[in-house]
Amino acid sequence: MDREKQIVRASVISIAGNALLAAVKGVVGTLTGSIAISLDAINSLTDALSSVIAVIGAKLAGRSADREHPFGYGRVEYLSSIVIAALILAAGLSSFVEAIRSIVHPTTPEYTAFTLLVVAGAAMVKFGLGYYLKRMGKILDSGSLVGSGTDSLMDGCVSTSTCVAGILFLTTGINIEAWLAAGISLLIIKSGISLLIETASKLLGERADPKIVAHIEREALNVEGVRFASNFVLLDFGPNRLGGTIHVTVDGQMTVAEFNRIARAVQKRVNQKCGVKLAGVTPYPDASDNEDVREIHAQVGRIVWGYDHVVELRGLYINAEDRMIHFDAIAEYGTDLHALREQLVETCQQECPGWEFDARVLHDTGD
């Protein structure tokens, strides 16, 4: 079963379960006069709605790329996660407001052993749905399912707190229902904010997962002719939709035709083994095995590595015929790249008179 169908199936299970729970808890809340149970019923409805949004998001994200959106619609899933996070926040805020009203103007709930048994059963169902949805969300890399699962788990906590309050009220006469409802509401609000921040971070563009970068590097190095792989630029076009570019170091005497064969082989292998579509493979020519330039090669390396903010040196290539030296220096974040480049070039020209330098100073986008 493909990913979209699995998301839809999990969401349909959630919709059916939450719709049933909302009906049962709505009736029980009305009969007992319990604000917590009534709010719990409303939360179940929001859970069902969040699952509907997850289905819509999965369907839209599965659309094929077109002229207007050449990278597909995968990011729609992130937008649906934001909507779900907003629903969680709205439910949490609404519950908190009602809980405060109940604290200010308390009412006496009418609990019975039967109603508490119903609420306890509902809590078990909510916990089961929550763990199921979160597990499927992590397996399928679906933020929408994770959000729906989080919402269900929070509702399970609400139901559990209602049971605790009910048992305490029946045994001691002390009513803490509204206070428990307020506390759980704050947890729901926190969960909504966390999901919103996490999803917004993905839309802004996060640093590539080091495990994925390492996997791409291993597969690129398995292609004959590739000496090193670096400078990974990976773009997220939705869950399981990564693309980007990398640099590979190859023999400096290699022809364009020879490199074209290697580049295509790297793209094919990385796509098959890692599920990442590389839009480009850029060569770094390697001349370190040339005895005529080995000394100047080592000297430039020492100069660049002498700067504290430099964390990596890439693509150091010396063209003896044109007296030109090319390299990329990777600097720490927060470094003034322009100023560091000016310092590097000035020092290199002082230490290596007669040579011209084509230097770039960059930030690293992948571990």
Phi, psi of 151 (to 5 degrees): -60, -40
Q: CB–CB of 247/282 below 8 Å?
A: yes
Q: What does the chain come to in residues?
A: 367
In order of 104, 116, 159, 190, 269, the CA distances from 174 in angstroms are: 16, 16, 18, 28, 67
Mean pLDDT of 44-54: 80
Our CA dihedral for 297, 300, 305, 308, rounded to 10 degrees, sits at -170
Closest by Cα among 4, 78, 88 to 49: 88
CATH number of 210-363: 3.30.70.1350
Give 307 or 61, the one with higher predicted confidence. 307
For residues 87-121, b (16+ Cβ closer than 10 Å) or e, as one string?
bbbebbebbbebbeebeeeeeebebeeebbebbbe
Q: Could you tell me where the DSSP H helices lie in the chain?
A: 3-32, 35-61, 76-104, 113-140, 143-172, 177-204, 210-221, 256-274, 294-305, 337-351
Sorted by where each begins, the domain ranges of the chain are: 3-204, 210-363
Q: Is it true that 3-204 and 210-363 share their CATH fold?
A: no
Q: Could you tell me where the DSSP H helices lie in 275-366?
A: 294-305, 337-351
DSSP β-ladder status, 242-251 and 276-286: parallel
Closest by Cα among 363, 356, 311, 315 to 337: 363
pLDDT for position 321:
81
Mean pLDDT of 98-118: 78
Give the model's confidence band at 257: pLDDT under 50 very low, under 70 low, under 90 confident, else very high: very high
Instruction: Please state the pTM of the whole predicted model.
Output: 0.73
pLDDT for position 218:
94
Q: Does domain 3-204 have CATH number 1.20.1510.10?
A: yes
